Structure 1
Amino acid sequence: MALSNEPETYYYKEGIKVIERFFEVPLDHDNPSGEKIRVFARNMIPRSKAKTKEEEDKLPFLLYLQGGPGFETPLQSSTGFAAEIHERGYQTLWLDQRGTGLSTPFSYETLPTNVKADQEIADYLKFFRADSIVKDCEVIRKTLLGHKDKESEQKWSIMGQSFGGFCAVTYLSFFPEGLKEVFITGGLATLASQPDTSYELTTKKVIARNKVYYEKYPRDIRRVRNILNHLETNNVQLPNGGRLTVRRWQLLGLDFGMHSKYPLRGIDRVHQIVFRAANDLELYKQLTYKLLQMVEGCQHIDGNPIYAILHEPLYCQGHSPNWAANRVIQKYPQFSWQNVKTLADTEPVYFTGEMIFPEMFDDFAHLRPFKGVAEILAQDASWGPLYNIGQLAKNEVPVTTATQVHSIMFTLMRKLTLQSYVPFELSQQTAAMIKNTEQYITNQLQHGGIREDPKDLMRRLFQILRRERG
């Protein structure tokens, strides 16, 4: 049966017209006549700004690139930061990057029939990095805007959050002619050719965040030690067939980079899970189904395997990642349960941050089929270029970024917080290498700041876009 790429239209009651759009693109853009995949994007048009087809055609496009890698763009409401963009006269396009959401989603069950062996899957996945994603964007831009008479009207604006910001820098490197303006939130990508430096800095920030956690919840030191002792001596199965091991428990530290607001996130959510697990062990000598369900609910990697498989390769240009996070973290004994359990029971064992480890391909049920694939890609050094340093140095497209800063950098400011996912130091190096970049630097937001206080953040970004002062 032929795939239908016919758009589908409906309306939100709050005055938003929604057009569901599918596009056919090559799997390999260097082989345009070869295998095709389907990519999805949701077009949202504010009716307050355009009531007729002619008015819609005049609204400029802003393309949103989701963080990840390997995560689809959530369905947007007519509130939040989407509303802030619409209020400024844009129609928006919310892309599911290839391999995610409705865009030929990647999983073991959805592999093409001719892609089954580990090496075949590894070769297939090499087409799912930022370089291919931005080429998809160019196909979509030309489809939607290529008919415009004026060259300026064929350009669009883009906004990238976290990994979406990495994609935005790749876009600037190779297709600046398609861009009117660029917004980046959640940190600028390092332009290095391998991830080691990034993980060195990230690990130090995760250590600092662990200290904040245990200072706030000192009784969790013994609780966590008791939990890890239980996990080490018992085979604990999660509801979907995964295993809750010591390493997987430590992965809860991924939340340390998120803001502690409702719904509960950040170090406070980790504490609630620790508190409940400790209570389970006191009452029942085992972890309850509800607790296991909570842990599983914090870790969405089973349904988004690209996140784990390509997390380190997304940095690489001519170098192999070689399990960078695993190599770096071994330098710090605070993360090793085998070390900490030999020390006094007042010594904490640290949670890890946004890091991928080889053991995850045993512990996560839906990563197990990709264990061999992950090893192949971890040793692969044939990754192509993601950035053009020369082009970025002469960039003329206005780039406006929101960058979260480590509290140490802002010792004079109050209400200090920490952003763990994209190291501030590397973001600053990148900003200095991209001409025409201006930043809003803050330590009042965490990594997901675009969702925490969208009104203020978008106001500041658009003020900077106009290159205003004061």
Structure 2
Amino acid sequence: MSTSAPSETYNIKNDLKIIERFFTVPLDHANPEGEKIHVFARNVIPKAKAKTAEDEAKLPFLVYLQGGPGFEIDLPRSSGYAGELHEKGYQTLWVDQRGTGLSTPLSPDTLPAHVKTDQEIANYLKFFRADSIVKDCEVIRKQLLGHKESPEDRKWTLMGQSFGGFCAITYLSFHPEGVKEVFLTGGLAPLVDQPDIVYEALAKRVIKRNTVYYEKYPQDVKRVRDILTYLEANKVILPNGGRLTPCRWQQLGMSFGMHGGIDNVHQLVFRASKEIELLGKLSYKLLQSVGNQPFDGNPLYAILHEPVYCQGKPANWSASRIIQKYEQFSWTQTRVREDDTPVYFTGEMIFPDMFKDYANLRPWAGAAEILAKDADWPPLYDLKQLSKNEVPVSAVTYFNDMYVDFDFAQDTASKIKNTEQYITNQLVHDGIREDSSDVMKKLFKLSKREFD
């Protein structure tokens, strides 16, 4: 059962009406009378499409599911993909997935008072995966649309970016009756039960991106080696108390899969190497920039990153095990080589040492170890249901996506009936932000299901 707190309404630029909504839902949907949490969702209504309250009620709902796991959603503006959705006549619902933003946000300092031991923390965090997120959405849908007379009007459209697409596929697996249509951008999830093969593929893609990086900036081979030598010899503390180790520096490669990511990393490498050369140390500004990675502010992104793939099997620090097969990523092994031997940056991977190096992850180190070994993960997908899916799924898929492997995406598309794709090698994982107009145009065209 879900209840709704009184909403707050206001208008912003370009005739957008905002309704801030809070819902109370069970922590454990299998125990609806037990502990409760809050879910926050921002309802945006384009006033140009609805002049009256009656008009507003008729606008179809589109729910946006954010990438992650563990990220909230900022206030959507009138431009970009939000603007394209509103221009198309949708009213949108931007959900802070449980544990993020204003939805009972989870970090070491906001855990409930009764959740204290490592085992209790681990048990609690298990309720914050896609299966629970989808159940939250379902109870919210019933509250907002359950009164509609027509069964079709009680359904809504889903749009999932990256991990939001994973959630949408979980939705189609277990609650297709609530969905009218699905749009995915870089979100065709690998339908696996354990992440090893996902990280095997990721390691190869990250190697390719490192090759591109060093071909573009060959001077950075020595610069990176010099930086890692400095970090190994000095205890460098970041402004928030985290530690900048060689491994943490290599984690800057996580942005290699985004537009402009390689250039951004080069700027940090260039500045750091010059500061070490000229100042003999790294400046506060540089440390601030390097420390601005998402894990401290969004710790669910780290602790649930591998479990989002698990169904009845443990992750066992998958990325850490897989990457050991590739010497290029190991500073320990490459530091004894010649100065022209590049040291590779890592990608979207979680390592045990991160729970020492990141200040806000340290309190969860014990829970992270428990979760890594846990095999008791419920199903996330129903392949039989997906094989007979009747809900139209329109997906934009990026051929060079570093985060969601293209081959896995094709396998998934083949297993979800009624899926159509637009595939491009001109955009990468954040294409929805890089070229919103083109991505949304392609999605809307696909959704028409008009074939020659």
Report the TM range for the smaller structure's normalisation: over 0.9
Residue identity in the other structure for 1:131: D
| Contact 2:64–2:159 (CA under 8 A) maintained in structure 1 | yes
Which of 309, 313, 331 matches 1:319?
Answer: 313
Distance, in Å, in 1 between the alignment partners of 2:201 and 2:4 is: 46
Superposition CA RMSD, Å: 0.9
Displacement after TM superposition at 1:186 (Å): 1.3
Residue identity in the other structure for 2:421: Q
| Contact 2:4–2:23 (CA under 8 A) maintained in structure 1 | no
2:407: which partner in 1?
A: 425
| Contact 1:245–1:363 (CA under 8 A) maintained in structure 2 | yes
| Contact 1:185–1:450 (CA under 8 A) maintained in structure 2 | yes
1:456: which partner in 2?
A: 438
Structure 2 residue 449 is the aligned partner of structure 1 residue 467: yes
- How many residues in Structure 1 have an aligned counterpart in Structure 2? 450
| Contact 1:66–1:164 (CA under 8 A) maintained in structure 2 | yes
1:446: which partner in 2?
A: 428
Residue identity in the other structure for 1:193: D
Displacement after TM superposition at 1:366 (Å): 0.3
Deviations 1:368-413 (CA, angstroms, capped at 9, x unpaired): 000000000000001010000000000000000111013xxxxxxx
| Contact 1:187–1:424 (CA under 8 A) maintained in structure 2 | no
Structure 2 residue 169 is the aligned partner of structure 1 residue 169: yes
Deviations 1:220-270 (CA, angstroms, capped at 9, x unpaired): 00000000000001000000000000110000001100002xxxxx10000
Which of 372, 377, 383 matches 2:371?
Answer: 377
Structure 2 residue 33 is the aligned partner of structure 1 residue 33: yes
| Contact 1:325–1:356 (CA under 8 A) maintained in structure 2 | yes
| Contact 1:187–1:404 (CA under 8 A) maintained in structure 2 | no
Distance, in Å, in 1 between the alignment partners of 2:376 and 2:48 is: 49
Displacement after TM superposition at 1:73 (Å): 1.1
1:348: which partner in 2?
A: 342
| Contact 1:187–1:423 (CA under 8 A) maintained in structure 2 | no
Q: Secondary structure at the match of 2:18?
A: strand
Distance, in Å, in 2 between the alignment partners of 1:13 and 1:257 is: 33
Structure 2 unmatched runs, 5+: none
Q: Secondary structure at the match of 2:48?
A: coil
Distance, in Å, in 1 between the alignment partners of 2:74 and 2:11 is: 17
Distance of aligned partners of 1:17 and 1:373 in 2 relative to their CA distance in 1, 3 Å threshold: same
Structure 2 residue 342 is the aligned partner of structure 1 residue 360: no
| Contact 2:231–2:244 (CA under 8 A) maintained in structure 1 | yes
Q: State which drifts further: 185-194 or 343-352.
A: 185-194
Displacement after TM superposition at 1:469 (Å): 4.0
Q: Secondary structure at the match of 1:71?
A: coil
| Contact 2:69–2:300 (CA under 8 A) maintained in structure 1 | yes
Q: How does 1:277-296 map onto structure 2 within 5 Å? A: 277-296=272-291
Distance, in Å, in 1 between the alignment partners of 2:239 and 2:128 is: 29
2:180: which partner in 1?
A: 180
Structure 2 residue 399 is the aligned partner of structure 1 residue 405: yes
Displacement after TM superposition at 1:468 (Å): 2.4
Distance, in Å, in 2 between the alignment partners of 1:398 and 1:72 is: 27
Q: How does 1:182-331 map onto structure 2 within 5 Å? A: 182-260=182-260, 266-297=261-292, 299-331=293-325
| Contact 2:164–2:187 (CA under 8 A) maintained in structure 1 | no
Distance, in Å, in 1 between the alignment partners of 2:162 and 2:415 is: 18
Displacement after TM superposition at 1:434 (Å): 0.2
Structure 2 residue 112 is the aligned partner of structure 1 residue 117: no
2:86: which partner in 1?
A: 86
Q: Secondary structure at the match of 1:21?
A: strand
| Contact 2:63–2:92 (CA under 8 A) maintained in structure 1 | yes
Deviations 1:267-322 (CA, angstroms, capped at 9, x unpaired): 0000000000011001111111110011012x111011100000000100000000
Displacement after TM superposition at 1:51 (Å): 1.2
- Structure 1 length as normaliser, TM-score? 0.95
Structure 2 residue 385 is the aligned partner of structure 1 residue 391: yes
Displacement after TM superposition at 1:187 (Å): 3.3
1:338: which partner in 2?
A: 332
Identity between Structure 1 and Structure 2 (%): 66
Displacement after TM superposition at 1:4 (Å): 8.2
Q: How does 1:135-154 map onto structure 2 within 5 Å? A: 135-154=135-154
Distance, in Å, in 2 between the alignment partners of 1:302 and 1:17 is: 33
Deviations 1:336-381 (CA, angstroms, capped at 9, x unpaired): 0011111111010000000000000000000000000000000000
Residue identity in the other structure for 1:157: T
2:19: which partner in 1?
A: 19
Distance, in Å, in 1 between the alignment partners of 2:297 and 2:117 is: 21
